[in-house]
Structures are given as C-alpha cells and as structure tokens.
A and B are shown apart, each in its own frame.
Chain A
C-alpha cells in the first residue's frame, strides 16, 4: 500500500480512487522541493486534463495533514513540499 521510500531529492505522491484511475498508478516519486501552489500545475504537465477532471474536486494532504490550496488566497499555497514528504490526492470520499 505505502510506496517505497522516496529516493534523494524526491517526495512520494499517492493517488486514490478517481486520481488513481486517471494517472493509472497508485503512487510515484516526484522531484522535491515543490511549492504547494505549483503542485496541480506540475501534475497537469504529467497528466494533461487531470486538473479539470479530477484535481478540481480533490483535497491534498502532506504527511497526513490537509493543506488548503483552493483559491488564490488559500492559506497553504506557500507550503513547501520537501524531500521525503508523503503527499496524497484525496478525491471526494464514499465510505458506508
């Protein structure tokens, strides 16, 4: 379930549900550091169309804590994703 440890200079990113379907993978390692405001653009470069179709309705966690990067004034846009961090793309949930 958990990905292997990120190699030097990289962070881990986990894709769940619709995000995993779109990227066709459960996780990968991307180069760090990345500022949170640039995360979705970076993913859009790798997976064209993902921003509108998937990410627009997703939340993001860094090391199991949610960050708020929704909108131009969002408080966590300046958060820096560092080497070794675990980022996750969280689509709308559907338990029960």
Chain B
C-alpha cells in the first residue's frame, strides 16, 4: 500500500539527531548527512578482525519512473526502540563485537546516504551475515516511512513489503472529513 502526498508536503522531523549509544550498540536517527566513517570508527575494535559497512543511497528511479526527491519520516521513539531490539538480537545471535545502525530523516537528496550499518565481529562470516540481516530487519520493521516524489507529480508513500507503485493522486484522500475531539 502507498498513498499520495501533495508536492508541498514537509516531513515532520526532529531538528537534531536522536541517538542511543551503549558500549557496543549505536542507534541514530538524524536529519543531518550520515557519517559512515564515524559508524566504522564506532565498531572498530582490537578484538574484531572483520568490519562490514553497508551504505544505502537513494535511487533516482522507481520502476523506471524518475524520482525527483525523497523524504523520510518516523515515529522516532518507537523506531529507536525497534532498532535497538534488532541490534541487541544480532549482537547475541552472531556474537558481534559492535553494531551501529544510522538512518536519515527528513529530506534526502538523490544519491545521498539514507542508511548506514556497520558491524564488527571476530571473524568475517559473522560480520557479513549480521550486516545483511541488520539491513533486512530494519527495512522490515523500523517505523520509518519513505516519501518518493516523482518528476512533475505528487509524492507516494512507499511500502517495503509490496514493492508496487502507489495509488493515483486523489483516490486516497479523505475529502471534508473533520475530526471531532479536541484539536492537537
């Protein structure tokens, strides 16, 4: 499922990075440019012989349609908790030394980093596997949403699980629906 947005939509995002760091886990949601080198430095350790770094960048097309810009929004407190759970689980499962998961929020220019995952482990097999699993679990579960804006058109909320184009403009908007209750 995805739903269209008007071209003027501005994502509601925190003004600064939200981070949670322990001795071996670093989780971050940030409106700033992602620093893959900092993630690598965080996981580096004399007891780890392998460091795997994944950098996800935003593509300029979806199903051959040109994408002009992207923005990410999030339910930050819940996404932080979900990412921390993913990191904790993988740390134990693959006997990792350290893990860092960093995701961009807000506007993300085409071709720039939207996600950085760094993992370190004593040996390469565990690091490779954990790196891939961290990305797949994040894409599946983290409460973060991508709005893709197509050239000359409106935005579409993407859903990782179906991978199809969203519904057309106007079909999915409640016209004249007004909420009761106190206004927020």
**Given A21-B3, A92-B161, does the pair A46, B180 have CB atoms closer than 8 Å?**
yes
Judged by a CB distance under 8 angstroms, whether B56 is at the interface is yes
Q: Per-residue CB proximity of B151-167 to A under 8 Å, as 1/0?
A: 00000011111100000
**Given A1-B76, A22-B173, does the pair A17, B157 have CB atoms closer than 8 Å?**
yes
Number of interface residues of A (CB under 8 A): 40
Judged by a CB distance under 8 angstroms, whether B172 is at the interface is yes
Cβ-neighbour of A7 out of B13, B161, B172, B182 (below 8 A): B182
What is the minimal beta-carbon distance from B146 to any residue of chain A, in angstroms?
A: 4
Q: Per-residue CB proximity of A15-39 to B under 8 Å, as 1/0?
A: 0111001111111111100000000
What is the minimal beta-carbon distance from A53 to any residue of chain B, in angstroms?
A: 5
Interface size range of chain B in the complex: 35 or more
Q: Per-residue CB proximity of B115-141 to A under 8 Å, as 1/0?
A: 100000000000000000001001111
**Given A1-B13, A16-B75, A64-B78, does the pair A92, B159 have CB atoms closer than 8 Å?**
yes
Specify which chain A residues have a CB less than 8 angstroms from the CB of B143 in the assembled complex: 16, 90, 93
Q: Per-residue CB proximity of A54-96 to B under 8 Å, as 1/0?
A: 1001000100100000000000000000000000101111111
Specify which chain B residues have a CB less than 8 angstroms from the CB of A6 in the assembled complex: 182
Query: For the complex, what is the distance from the CA of A80 to the CA of B56, rounded to whole Å?
Result: 41
Interface residues of B (CB under 8 A from A): 1-5, 12-14, 56, 72-73, 75-79, 81, 103, 114-115, 135, 138-147, 157-162, 172-174, 177-184
Interface residues of A (CB under 8 A from B): 1, 3-4, 6-7, 10, 12, 14, 16-18, 21-31, 46-50, 53-54, 57, 61, 64, 88, 90-96
